Amino acid sequence: MIPLYAYRDNSCDPRKCTVKRMEKSGLVKIVTKISHIPRNTILLDPTSEQALSPADLPVKSITALDCSWDVLDTGAVSSWRRRRALPFLVAANPVNFGRPWKLTSVEAFAAALIILGQPLQARTILSSVNWGIRFLEVNEEPLMLYSGAKDSSEIIRIQNEYL
C-alpha cells in the first residue's frame, strides 16, 4: 500500500468532497498546510511538465492537491522534485462525467495507483464513492496502456493517440 496524502484548503463543498470521504474510511491523510506535505512524495500537479509513469517507482507516497486551482499558489509547489501530471483521462464523477481532465481527487489517486502498478489499492479507494468503479470502466484501455509504459515520454505518446 502506498500512503496517500491530500493538501486540502477547504475551498470545495465538504459534502461532495471525495477526499473527505476517503479520510472517513482511513484511506488518505489530509494536510492543511503545504509545508506539511511530505517532501519525498509524488505530487499530483496538473501544471507539471512531466507525466506520471511507472518509471517514477519506487514511491514513498502520493499527494493530491485538493483545492481550487484559482487560489492555488503554484509557486509554493513548483520546487517539488517529483511533481507529476496525470495523462489524458475522462472523468466519471457525476459533476464532470465524460469531461477530460476534470477528475476528482479520488479519480486522480486511482489513476496514479494504476499507473504505478497498484490496481487493488485503486479499487479500494474508488469504493469510497458509489460511482468509483465507473471511472475504471470509462478509462480501462488508456489506464492499461499507461500502466505498461516505460517512462513519461511513452505516456505522452500514448496520450497523443487519444487526443
What is the per-residue pLDDT for 60? 95
Asked if the model's pLDDT at residue 16 lies above 90, the reply is: no
Asked if the model's pLDDT at residue 9 lies above 90, the reply is: no
* 3-class SS of residue 75: helix
Burial class of residue 66, CB neighbours in 10 A (0-12, 13-18, 19+)? buried
> Residue 2, Cβ neighbours under 10 Å: how many?
18
Query: pLDDT above 90 covers what percent of the chain?
Result: 65
Eight-class DSSP state of 86: -
For 44-85, what is each residue's pLDDT tens digit?
988 888 999 999 999 999 999 886 655 555 666 666 789 999
The amino acid occupying position 24 is K
Mean pLDDT of 125-146: 95
The mean pLDDT value of the chain amounts to 89
What is the per-residue pLDDT for 71? 52
Q: Based on the structure, what is the number of domains in the chain?
A: 1
Domain range for 116 is 4-162
Eight-class DSSP state of 11: -
Instruction: Quote the pTM value.
Output: 0.92
Mean pLDDT of 100-129: 95
